[in-house]
Amino acid sequence: MTNKEQHDVIIIGAGAAGLSAGLVLARAQATVAIIDAGNPRNGPAAQMHGFVSRDGLSPSEFLAIARDEVVGYGATVRYESVEAITRDGDGSFAVTLSTGVVASARALLLATGLKDELPHLDGVHERWGTLVYHCPYCHGFEVLNQAIVVIGGPVREMSIKQSGLLRKYSDRVTFATNGIKLTAAERHRLEAFGVTVVDGAVSHIVGQPGELDGIALVDGTQLACKAVFIAPPQRPNDGLLRSLGCAVDPNSGFVAVNPMGQTSVPGVWAAGNVVTPTAQVITAAGAGSASAIAINGWLLNKDLDDASGQVTAQASAPKPPSVHARAIITWIAIFPLVTLGFFAIAPFAAQWNPVLRAFVLSVVVVPLAVYLVVPQLMKIYGRIRSSRR
């Protein structure tokens, strides 16, 4: 890449999502540069599973095949990290690489994946993806009928769910709660399903380097096993997207995209784990392909505008309402309804204790406002905003 080389599209991230998008765009005659820091999420795993027609292939071999296909259609793939992105006066994007090289593109696809935040337990990091796993769909079949320990972590619901899911692969599943306080019902459901629940903090993984004998609790108890599962928190690598001003979905905390991966910033798309933590390799590749088709259509519209001298409006993904807008909408829904409710029950409730009156209003009227009126107001708000764009 020479200084300020111009591209139609720069794709950041050469995992399944980025390479799949690169293939579609390069075949569609777009000039494409793909930049990758060389750290795909499933890199530590020896095999990739669940990708029909590619089941059992090593992740590195999968990416090498994909990269060769993309390069075969004229795209460039460069192994470097992207440090910053800014917008030029003409609307194009200036992408600064770690070497200081700056490349320019009309549109961007960010497919930068996510980071699994592994617990600070001795022995986990070096066995991650080979003996310590997170995904039953990726690795469960490979440990069929073996002794499995699930270590509880900060993502409580996922830890509990993992224990149940893994019980389908083996009748020797132990859930080491490691600080998770199960309700009586949760404990009963797991135990009734055949999961052994062991309380107590986990200290470390037991076994020679590259091997796994089990796990040790802080109180000295050892639980023998052949596989360990954890549910680490997942942090999207979305610093670049946020620096561009892409809106974040307040519910998920991930950058918001429409079904084609379009963000709230015109010209910027995102696909794969960076916006969808649940994406597997095959779905990340699918999302990359969908984004590529949307980007190509967007570029075509710009080309038609340039050729004809006519400018057409292009839709960008709807911004989810901000936390402030949601708070105001909720207040608008609740305040008049509570007032109306107050007057409606006043004739009957004149004799009631004020505490009872407040209780009736809050358990009947407030939930009605929240569940019936707030969603309708959100829809109206969304329509007003999109009609203004």
Ligand X SMILES: Cc1cc2nc3c(=O)[nH]c(=O)nc-3n(C[C@H](O)[C@H](O)[C@H](O)COP(=O)(O)OP(=O)(O)OC[C@H]3O[C@@H](n4cnc5c(N)ncnc54)[C@H](O)[C@@H]3O)c2cc1C
Instruction: State the Cα–Cα distance between residues 135 and 155, nearest whole angstrom.
Output: 14
CB count in 10 Å sphere of residue 338? 16
Tell me whether residue 54 or residue 187 sits nearer to ligand X (CB atom). 54
Question: Where would I find the beta strands (DSSP E) of the chain?
Answer: 6-12, 32-36, 76-79, 82-87, 93-97, 102-110, 114-116, 132-133, 148-151, 173-176, 196-198, 202-206, 214-217, 222-224, 227-229, 234-236, 268-270
- Only segment of 35-43, 86-94, 256-264, 302-310 that touches ligand X (CB under 6 A): 35-43
CB count in 10 Å sphere of residue 305? 13
Q: What sign for the dihedral angle of Cα 299, 301, 304, 306?
A: negative
Please say whether the beta carbons of 67 and 61 come within 8 A: no
Binding residue (CB under 6 A) for ligand X from 177, 203, 273, 289: 273
Q: How far is the CB of 232 from ligand X (least distance, A)?
A: 9
Q: In a 10 Å sphere around its CB, with 0-12 CB exposed, 13-18 middle and 19+ buried, how is residue 58 labelled?
A: middle
Tell me whether residue 44 or residue 214 sits nearer to ligand X (CB atom). 44
Q: How far is the CB of 284 from ligand X (least distance, A)?
A: 4
Please say whether the beta carbons of 292 and 109 come within 8 A: yes
Q: Is 1 in the site for ligand X (CB under 6 A)?
A: no
Tell me whether residue 77 or residue 333 sits nearer to ligand X (CB atom). 77
Q: Is 17 in the site for ligand X (CB under 6 A)?
A: yes
Q: Is 231 in the site for ligand X (CB under 6 A)?
A: no
Q: How far is the CB of 238 from ligand X (least distance, A)?
A: 9
- What are the residues facing 128 on neighbouring strands? 132
Binding residue (CB under 6 A) for ligand X from 49, 106, 127, 167: 49
SS3 content of the chain, % helix, strand, coil (to 5): 40, 20, 40
Tell me whether residue 281 or residue 299 sits nearer to ligand X (CB atom). 281
Q: How far is the CB of 15 from ligand X (least distance, A)?
A: 2
Please say whether the beta carbons of 384 and 376 come within 8 A: no
Q: Is 138 in the site for ligand X (CB under 6 A)?
A: yes
Concatenate the DSSP letters of all residues of 60-124 into one string: HHHHHHHHHHHHHTT-EEEE--EEEEEE-TTS-EEEEETTS-EEEEEEEEE---EEE-----BTS
Binding residue (CB under 6 A) for ligand X from 1, 5, 31, 50: 50
Binding residue (CB under 6 A) for ligand X from 262, 280, 296, 316: 280
Q: Is 41 in the site for ligand X (CB under 6 A)?
A: yes
Binding residue (CB under 6 A) for ligand X from 22, 123, 129, 341: 129
Q: Is 35 in the site for ligand X (CB under 6 A)?
A: yes
At which residue do the structure tokens 């999302």 appear?
A: 287
Q: How far is the CB of 239 from ligand X (least distance, A)?
A: 8
Q: Is 236 in the site for ligand X (CB under 6 A)?
A: no
- Only segment of 29-37, 178-186, 300-308, 312-320 that touches ligand X (CB under 6 A): 29-37
The residue count for binding ligand X (CB under 6 A) is: 38
Binding residue (CB under 6 A) for ligand X from 1, 27, 37, 221: 37
Q: Is 155 in the site for ligand X (CB under 6 A)?
A: no
Hey, which residues between 87 and 116 contact ligand X (CB under 6 A)? 111-113, 116
- At residue 308's C-alpha, the angle toward residues 270 and 10, to 5°, is 25
Residues binding ligand X (CB under 6 A)? 12-18, 35-42, 44-45, 48-51, 81-82, 111-113, 116, 129, 135, 138, 237, 272-273, 279-282, 284
